[in-house]
Amino acid sequence: MSTEPKYWFPAKRYGWGWGIPSAWQGWTVLAVFLVLSGCGAFVLLPHRALFFDGYLLVLLGLLFWICWLKGEPPSWRWGGE
């Protein structure tokens, strides 16, 4: 059994941050984020665009927090291993 942690979001190969999910949990988080963003756009954008901006910032903050907790530690990468 491997003692290496299984990350939901691997680090990007170039730059800072995370790439596409590598586990089903990461794909689920990303799908929920997209569904909630779409629902918020459908409900809030026609009448309350400013509320949608705040709503989207909260969703992005939650996504970033989950990536921070369940993703590979971020650092600047230049493409090498």
In-domain check, residue 66: yes
In-domain check, residue 55: yes
Domain limits at 63? 41-70
Number of residues written out for the chain: 81
**What percent of the chain shows pLDDT beyond 70?**
91
CB 10 within 8 A of CB 72: yes
The amino acid at residue 8 is W
In-domain check, residue 18: no
In-domain check, residue 9: no
In order of 18, 20, 28, 80, the CA distances from 59 in angstroms are 17, 18, 14, 32
CB 72 within 8 A of CB 12: no
- Residue with token string 């230049």: 78
In-domain check, residue 48: yes
Report the number of distinct structural domains present in the chain.
Answer: 1
Q: Say yes or no to pLDDT of 4 above 80.
A: no
Q: What is the pLDDT of residue 1?
A: 60
